[in-house]
Amino acid sequence: MDGTDLAWRAEEACRNAWPAPREAHLDGWLLRAAGGPTRRTNSVNPLRGPRAAPEAAITTCEAVFRGLGQPALFRVVSLAPEFDPVLDRRGYTAEGASLTLVADLAGCGQAQVPVSLADAPDADWLAFRATINGADSEAERAYRAMHAAILLPRACAALRVDGAIAAQAYGVLDGSLVVMESVATAQAHRGRGLARAVVAALMRWGRGRGASAACLQVVADNAPARALYAGLGFDREVSRYHYRRAPGR
C-alpha cells in the first residue's frame, strides 16, 4: 500500500470509527451533521475520487448548513486541499490543526496491567467519558448516538484503579487498520502510563483480529498526547487537516 492509499484508508477508517448518524453525499464531498460539539461529525469532508469544484460545493454546503441552523464548517485535509484558498477568500477562519498518525502493530508487546475490553460502552464507561469531558446533555446525546451508529467490530477498553475507571479508550477494526478513539485518563491518575496501557491493549486486540496497523487523529499542538502516541509507535504522519469556520460564527 503506497503512502497516498494508506492515507485515504486511514481517513475512511477514522470516519467509520466515529460515524455521523446524519450524512449527505454531495458530488464527492461528505457533509456530516450529527449535532453536538464534535467538529469531525459536523463538517464537510472530502471523499476519495472525483469531487465537485470548490466554489459550487461550498455554495451547496452552506445552504445545507443554513437549513440545519448550524455554522458552515469545512474540514480541509492535506489529501484534498482545494477548499482552502476559496474559503480563505470568503473570510473563513482556520482552527483545529490535527494530524493522522499510523503505527505498525508488529511489536505492540504484551500486557503489563489488566485492561478490560467490552464490545460496547456500558453505563460506567459512558459516565467516565462524560465526567472527563465535562460534556453537556446535548454533547452526550450526540456521543451515544455516534456509538450506536458504529457498524464495525469495536472494543471499549477500561483500566480500573480501586474499582473505578481511571483510563479508557475504544478501538474500531476496519480491515487491516484498527482506529484508536476517545483516549482519556482521570486527572488524579495522569502521568502513570494508564492511557498508554489502554491504547496498547486495543492495539493488541486489533492485531489479534488481523489488523497490521493502527491509526488515530490528534490535535497538532497537544504535546502530551503526541508524546504518548510516539512512545507506542505512532511515528508516521500520513495526512493532516484543519477546519475552516464561517465568519462571524
Judge whether residue 107 has pLDDT over 90: no
Judge whether residue 36 has pLDDT over 70: yes
pLDDT tens, residue by residue, 219-239? 999 999 999 999 999 999 999
Please provide residue 162's backbone torsions phi and psi, each rounded to the nearest 5 degrees.
55, 40
SS3 string of the chain? CCHHHHHHHHHHHHHHHCCCCCEEEECCEEEECCCCCCCHHHCEEECCCCCCCHHHHHHHHHHHHHHHCCCCEEEEECCECCHHHHHHHCCCEEEEEEEEEEEECCCCCCCCCCCEEECCCCHHHHHHHHHHHCCCHHHHHHHHHHHHHCCCCEEEEEEEECCEEEEEEEEEEECCEEEEEEEEECHHHCCCCHHHHHHHHHHHHHHHCCCCEEEEEEECCCHHHHHHHHHCCCCEEEEEEEEEECCCC
pLDDT at residue number 248: 79
Grid cell locating 61? 454546503
Judge whether residue 11 has pLDDT over 80: yes
Q: Which domains, from first to last, does the chain contain?
A: 3-98+241-245 (no CATH), 103-239 (3.40.630.30)
pLDDT at residue number 8: 98
Mean pLDDT of the chain: 95
Q: By the 8 A CB rule, do 34 and 23 touch?
A: no
- 26: closest CA among 59, 4, 67? 59
pLDDT at residue number 235: 93
With bands split at pLDDT 50, 70 and 90, how would you rate the model's confidence at 111?
A: low
State the pTM of this model.
0.94
pLDDT at residue number 155: 98
Rama region for 175: left / alpha / beta (φ>0; ψ in -120 to 50; rest): left
Grid cell locating 159? 483500566
pLDDT at residue number 249: 64
Choice among 7-16, 43-52, 101-110, 207-216 with the minimum mean pLDDT: 101-110
Residues of the chain with pLDDT > 90, as a percent, come to 90
Grid cell locating 44? 464537510
> What number is the average pLDDT over the span 8-28?
97
pLDDT at residue number 1: 61
